[in-house]
Amino acid sequence: MNFTQIALEAFRAMGMNKLRTSLTMLGIIIGVGAVVMMLAIGESVRTDINQRIASMGSNLFIIFPGSQTSSGGVRVGRGGMQNLTEGDAQALQRLENVDYVAPVIQRGFQVQSGFSNWNTMVYGVTPEFFSIKAWDTSSGSLFGEMEIRSISRVAVIGQSVATNLFGDFDPVGQTIRIQNRPFEVIGVLADKGSDLGGSDQDDSIYIPMSTARQQVIRQWFPGSVNYIMVQAQSARTMADVKYDLTQTMRVRHRIREDQEDDFTVRDLSAIAEAAAGIATGLTLLLGAIGSISLLVGGIGIMNIMLVSVTERTREIGIRMALGARRSDVLFQFLTEAIVICVCGGAAGVALAYLGTVAISKFSPLQVGMSAFGIVLAFGFSAAIGIFFGFYPAKRASSLKPVDALRYE
Amino acid sequence: MTSVTSVAAPVLAAAPLLKLRGVRKSYVTGDIETPVLKGIDLEIGRGEFVAIMGQSGSGKSTLMNILGCLDTPTSGEYSLDGHEVATLRDDDLARVRNRTIGFVFQGFNLLKRMPLIDNVALPLLYAGLDRAQSRTRAQVRLEQTGLGPYAFRLPNQISGGQQQRVAISRALVNDPPLILADEPTGNLDTQTSVEILNLFTELNRSQGITLLVVTHEPDVARHANRLVRLKDGLVTYDGPVEDAHL
Ligand SMILES: Nc1ncnc2c1ncn2[C@@H]1O[C@H](COP(=O)(O)OP(=O)(O)O)[C@@H](O)[C@H]1O
Ligand SMILES: [Mg+2]
C-alpha cells in the first residue's frame, strides 16, 4: 500500500467510529487551543509591559519630595511639602554620568477647545523631559529651548486629550484654553497607553516650564517643582549616580549627618526589571498550563489508541492474513493518531483564534496570535500524535498474525 | 522474492507446491511445553484437492496456520512453491500471504464495518493496486459469485452463506494458486455447505486451484480427491478419499 492508501484506510477506520474519534480529538482541541491561547495572552502581556517600560524612560531616577518611611512608602511633609527646586535640578545636571535632568511641575485643570472641554493634567516641562521619555509626536512637533526662553504659549497634547477636545480633527495649529489663556497646539504625542501604575499617559498636556510657572501653575514657593527626573548615561553608572545625587541633594538641603533625607529617590529601572520578569514568568506559567492540557490530551490519544488496537486485534490479524505488512499496520495506526492530532490541532487553533478575538473585544488587552505559536502548537500536536501513537501502533504491528487472529 | 506467484515453469510443475519435513509445533504455557504437531511429513502437488480430518484438538488448525505462514513451526522444514519458508523475512511472508495463499475461515473473518466490496478489495490494496482499480476487480469477483447487487452492504446485512461466498471471493481476488480453508462450512447449514463445496470443486476442476480443506464432516471430505487424517499431532492416513472408510 502506498501512503495515500494508508491515509485513506486510516480515515475510513476513523469514520467507522466517529464518537471515539471525536472524543479523542476533543482532548487535542482543548490542549492545542489552550497552548496557543495562553502563549498569545502571555506574549501580548509581555509586549504591552515592554512598551510601557520603554515609554517610561530608561536608566531613570525620579526624586520626590518627602522622606521614605521604613516600610517603603513616602511620608509627605507639612502640607504636601514642595522642597524640590529648579536650583536642585541645575545642580544635578552638573553631576558626572548624568545625561538629562528634567524638573516637572503639574496640576489638573479643565481645558477648553472650540468644541468642548476636558479635565486633564497639565505638566510644565523642559525639552529634557521628552529626551528622557524618548517620546515623539504623531503629528506636529515638540517644543524646545527657544519656547522656554520666549515663554511661549504652546502645548503638546496626548492622544486622549486630542480625541476628547478635537474628535477626529487634527489639533495641530488649533487653540486650547488653560486657565483662560490661549495656547497653540503644536504637536500631538504618539499613543502610549497607560504607564505601569495604570494612569493614562495619553491623558496629559505638556507646556513649557517657564510659561507654566509664570502663567498657569502658581507654586507656593518660587522655583519649587513637583518632582525631578534624572537619567543616568548607562545602566552601569546607575549606582554612582544615585550616590552622587543623594549627596548633592543632602548638601543643598543642609541635612545634618544624623538626619533623614527630606526627599525620596526612586529607581525606575528596578521596577521595570521586576515588571519584565513578571511578564516573562507569566508567559512561562501560561505556557506550562497549556502544555499540561496538551499532555493530558496526548495521553488521551495513547489511551484511545491502545484501546483501539486491542479492540481491533482481530482486524489486524485479518489484514495480515490478507497480505498487510508490519509497516502497513504500523503506518495505518500511526496515521490515524497523526490525523486525529493534526485535525484536532487545526480546530484548536481556530478555537484559540475565537478566544483571542473575544479577549481583545471584552478586555483592554490586545491579543494577537503569533505565527510562532500556531506553528509550535501544530508541530507539537503532530509530535504528540507520533509520540503517543507510536507505542500502540508498534504493538499492533508486532503481533504474530496467528495470535491476532485468535483474539476474541 | 518475486517468483512465488509466477506461473510455474514446466519443470517445476512436477515439484510439489508445498512440502513438509518433520514439522513439529509445541505451545509453551508457563513451564509446560505441550507438543501439538509431532513430526508431520506431507507433500501436496499443484491442482490437488485435499481434505484434512481429525478429532477436535488433533492439530488441524495448527497445521493450517503453519501452512498459511501465519505461524512458524517449532522445528522441521516447510517449503512453499520452492521457497524455504523459514528463510523468508516478514515482508516476504506478507507477500506470500497476499499473492500465493487465499484464506477461508470458519467464522468468515470479514471486517465488520466495511462494505463487502472493500472487504474483497483489501488484498488488492495490499498488493499495491489503487482504490479504483481494486474496487473494479472486487466488483467483478462479487458478480461471479452472484453477490454483485450486495457490493455496498455491510457483512451483517447478508446471510452466513453469502458472507462465506464473499470471503471466498476475497481469497480468490489475487488469483492465488493455493486456497486454505479451515472448516469453511462449520457455521453453515447443509444446503449452504453443499453450495460452497460445489463452488470449491468447480474452482479446483476448471481453474486448477490447489485446495486444502479442514473438516470433520465426511460429506464434505467426499468432495476431495485425497484425504489426510490427523491424530494427536501425527498423520495416521494419507491416501485417496475412496480408500478411506468414511
Ligand atoms: N496458542 C495456543 N496456546 C496453547 N495451546 C494451543 C494454542 N493453540 C492451540 N493449542 C492447543 O493445541 C491443540 C490443537 O489445537 P488445534 O490445532 O486448534 O486443533 P483442531 O483445529 O484440530 O481442533 C489443542 O489441544 C489446543 O488446546
Ligand atoms: Mg480447529
pLDDT band at A319 (very low <50, low <70, confident <90, very high): very high
Q: Measure the CA dihedral A9/A10/A13/A18, to 10°.
A: -140
What is the per-residue DSSP string for A146-201? HHHHTT--EEEE-HHHHHHHHTTS--TT-EEEETTEEEEEEEEEPP--B-TTS-BT
Could you tell me if residue A73 is inside a domain? no
Residue A124 Rama label (left phi>0; alpha psi -120 to 50; beta): beta
Q: Are residues A119 and A215 in the same domain?
A: yes
A189: domain range?
Answer: 84-252
Could you tell me if residue B138 is inside a domain? yes
Q: Are residues A244 and A282 in the same domain?
A: no
**pLDDT, tens digit, 9 for 90 and up, residues B190-205:** 999 999 999 999 999 9
**Contact call for A323 and B130, based on CB within 8 A:** no
Q: Which residues of B fall within a CB distance of 8 Å from A328?
A: 94, 126
Closest by Cα among B204, B210, B217, B212 to B228: B212
B40: domain range?
Answer: 18-243
* Most ligand 1 atoms within 8 A of CB, residue of B27, B38, B63, B74 to mutate: B27
C-alpha distance from residue B230 to each of A128, A289, B58, B245 (Å): 107, 65, 6, 15
3-state secondary structure of B25: strand
pLDDT band at A191 (very low <50, low <70, confident <90, very high): confident
C-alpha distance from residue A142 to each of A85, A134, A187 (Å): 24, 12, 6
Could you tell me if residue B4 is inside a domain? no
pLDDT at A80: 52
Atom 27 of ligand 1, residue of closest alpha carbon: B57
Partners of B32 in the beta sheet? B29
Could you tell me if residue B3 is inside a domain? no
Could you tell me if residue A257 is inside a domain? no
A284-289, long-range: CB < 8 A, 24+ apart: A284/A42, A285/A42, A286/A38, A286/A39, A286/A41, A286/A42, A287/A35, A287/A38, A287/A39, A287/A42, A289/A34, A289/A38
Return the H-helix or E-strand segment holding A66.
none
Q: Are residues A148 and A216 in the same domain?
A: yes
Closest by Cα among A193, A55, A206 to A135: A55
pLDDT at A17: 78
CA of B32 to the centre of ligand 1 (A): 14
- CB B56 less than 6 A from any atom of ligand 1: yes
**Contact call for A319 and B126, based on CB within 8 A:** yes
C-alpha distance from residue B20 to each of A33, A399, B44, B67 (Å): 60, 25, 9, 9
pLDDT band at B8 (very low <50, low <70, confident <90, very high): very low
Could you tell me if residue A240 is inside a domain? yes
Number of residues that make up chain A: 408
Could you tell me if residue A326 is inside a domain? yes
In this structure, which amino acid lies at residue A78? Answer: R
Could you tell me if residue A213 is inside a domain? yes
Q: Are residues A36 and A117 in the same domain?
A: no
Could you tell me if residue B92 is inside a domain? yes
- Total domain count, chain A: 2
3-state secondary structure of A114: coil
pLDDT at A194: 67
String of b and e for A117-152 (b: at least 16 CB within 10 Å)? Answer: ebebbbbbbbbbbbebbebebeebebbeeebbeeeb
Q: Are residues A105 and A206 in the same domain?
A: yes
State whether residue B36 sits within 8 Å of chain A by CB. no
pLDDT at A336: 83
Closest by Cα among A212, A244, A178, A181 to A86: A212
CA of A132 to the centre of ligand 1 (A): 90
What number of other Cβ atoms are within 10 A of residue B152's Cβ? 11
Yes or no: say if B104 and B168 are a contact pair by the CB < 8 Å rule.
Answer: yes
Cell digits of residue A24? 479523542
Report the range out of A54-58, A114-118, A344-348, B107-111 with the highest average pLDDT.
Answer: B107-111
What number of other Cβ atoms are within 10 A of residue B28's Cβ? 9
Compute the average pLDDT of residues A254-265: 87
Could you tell me if residue A266 is inside a domain? no
Could you tell me if residue B117 is inside a domain? yes
- Total domain count, chain B: 1
pLDDT at B6: 46
Q: Are residues A245 and A137 in the same domain?
A: yes
Q: Are residues A30 and A103 in the same domain?
A: no
Q: Are residues A155 and A48 in the same domain?
A: no
Biggest CA pair distance of chain A: 101
| Closest-CA distance of chain B to residue A24, Å | 20
Place of cell 499532555: A295
Ligand nearest to the CA of B71: 1
Task: Report residue A24: phi and psi, to 5°.
Answer: -60, -45
> CA B24, CA B38: separation in Å to the nearest integer?
5
| Closest-CA distance of chain B to residue A386, Å | 23
Under 8 Å CB-to-CB from B209, ≥6 apart: which residues? B47, B172, B176, B177, B178, B179, B203
Yes or no: say if B108 and B160 are a contact pair by the CB < 8 Å rule.
Answer: yes
Task: Report residue B176: phi and psi, to 5°.
Answer: -75, 150
Could you tell me if residue B11 is inside a domain? no
The enclosing domain of B233 has a CATH number of: 3.40.50.300
State whether residue B126 sits within 8 Å of chain A by CB. yes
**pLDDT, tens digit, 9 for 90 and up, residues B207-243:** 999 999 999 889 899 999 999 999 999 999 999 999 8
Could you tell me if residue A68 is inside a domain? no
Could you tell me if residue A269 is inside a domain? no
**pLDDT, tens digit, 9 for 90 and up, residues B143-188:** 988 899 999 999 999 999 999 999 999 999 999 999 999 999 998 9
| Closest-CA distance of chain B to residue A1, Å | 5
State whether residue A11 sits within 8 Å of chain B by CB. no
Yes or no: say if B189 and B178 are a contact pair by the CB < 8 Å rule.
Answer: no
Q: Are residues A232 and A280 in the same domain?
A: no
Q: Are residues A128 and A27 in the same domain?
A: no
Q: Are residues A395 and A288 in the same domain?
A: yes
